[in-house]
Chain A
């Protein structure tokens, strides 16, 4: 496999990685998710366990008019809820969905007094329409004082309270541990939706590196592809010719005084050996004379690791 082929293969892989990275980036799941559930009762309940489950999440309820969120001890909440129609949020089966169920009161208090709802109808009947008509009852109902399901009973058991119009949202962290969260529409109209805004962990740290690797490999492949369609032989030939001419020029000239120049001038160069005792200058001269042919030939071969005494003497 040539370099060009390998680069082309890398380019194909890079394109695939780039496509995968870009698709993943486009479809990257959001970290913040809103789980919702539709409700149709005037009261929504989050048990202490559900509030703890929500942890740092924000719990919201949507409806019309004044909406109030309250907390109470579970026993007190049960007693209050025993007289009200309520929906309990029970879990999070999927990231975008809350599960709910109709709230079932644990046990109604035997001493519980009748709810105050009769008083509302009584006040309506006490204020008859000034112009009697067949629809007098309806008009009387319209003249009735607004219902406040929270004012119908004591408020002494409520511990915390948040108010909102059309929507109220409470951070689960603000709900005291162990207390039940009750969210109610003040006028008793049905609420429409409850939601939990969550932050979840998304392991998407690989997407950006994937895109960069894909882009890099694609670039390599692209370069290889470009060179496949461009004839570089003239350039290569030109480069080789230039290199050859530079070599020839180097053969013609040698630096004056260098070993090469001395060899070219026929001078004998000393040959050193470490195996023998250092020789006297006279013997060295005779050795040089005897080995002048060999030293000229050894200039073309790599230096031997063995070093002669003459070599050491030459360096001294």
Chain B
């Protein structure tokens, strides 16, 4: 009995000692550690998005079929590419825009909501070409980033410094404050400048750019040609705020990606408007006295911060013919 008692006490003591041997369960971590890279998309992801986009474009380019542009290309980009396929199909039309895969820089946002954007500046496609600014949009967590527009850079223009992946750019709205003008105002003012020409009060507001120079030059030429044929030339230019996306720059400015629709009406009196062979494939209907050209242009505009001495400027723009109709 006594021996059992001693053995029991000894064993219990050993187990008691063992209980004290094991360290306490560590205290829980109650707060999430800070995310070091806050950008929505990091380099491996942006590389994958770009690769899949170019793969989809290549597949569609090889068939000249815009219906193959489904997951990675959407919105205005599909409309523009579809028109380019149509022009190419005719044989006399130009090839679709060459969108280089090599990029100089990729800009992503740190936004936690949707929609989100990602932009990339490519290398120039050739010696006679300028880099292309491409912009993707993700509408929700379920949707892939889709290429929505691209524009060739204006010669001499520069993309302002943008935030890296540590913070990412801010996803701004068209009514964002703290800029020399809100993006919506900037678009309205620039549209007014395009409509009114060099006499516009906004001519000095925006830095010179070759896009509006070419538009004004074409307007003058077509107006003169229509006058010679006793006809008329008119154009109307509208913005598309629903498809406008704004990213902040590192210096507090904004980079605005916006499509414009340009409708040019060319008419002659007692005659038929002649459409060039290269554009015949885009003609819809029988063109006679009036021909209406529909363009879907893509612009990238830089709006400096309110305290900046820079001028708002269009840094990239493309003028894309979509269709020609009888009006």
Contacts and interface: CB of A to CB of B under 8 A. Distances in A.
Interface string B18-32: 101111011011111
A153 B141 contact: yes
Interface of A: 16, 19-21, 23-24, 27-29, 47-50, 52-53, 73-76, 79-80, 83, 91-95, 109, 111-113, 115-116, 152-159, 176-179, 200-204, 206
Contacts of A113: 139-140, 142-143
B126 interface: no
A201 B21 CA distance: 8
Contacts of A159: 42, 44-45
Contacts of B35: 48, 73-74, 177-179
Interface stretch (B5-13, B254-262, B300-308): B5-13
A92 B26 contact: yes
B17 A24 contact: yes
A29 B24 CA distance: 13
Interface residues of B, number: 45
B40 interface: yes
B26 A53 contact: yes
Interface in B198-233: none
Contacts of B44: 159
B101 interface: no
Interface stretch (B108-116, B154-162, B277-285, B318-326): B108-116
Contact of B29 (A49, A73, A179): A49
Contacts of B29: 49-50, 52-53
Interface string B170-200: 0000000000000000000000000000000
B140 A111 contact: yes
Given A76-B40, A157-B45, A159-B45, 7 more contacts: A76-B112, A79-B141, A109-B140, A111-B139, A112-B141, A156-B45, A157-B141
27 contacts: A19-B7, A19-B11, A20-B14, A28-B21, A29-B22, A47-B32, A49-B33, A50-B29, A52-B29, A52-B32, A53-B28, A73-B112, A79-B141, A111-B115, A113-B139, A113-B142, A115-B142, A154-B141, A155-B144, A156-B41, A156-B49, A157-B40, A158-B45, A178-B33, A178-B35, A203-B21, A206-B17
A115 B143 CA distance: 10
Contacts of A23: 10-11, 14-15
A19 B138 CA distance: 70
B25 A27 contact: no
Contact of B31 (A49, A154, A156, A203): A49
Contacts of A95: 22, 25
B36 A92 contact: no
A29 B10 contact: no
Nearest to B52: A156
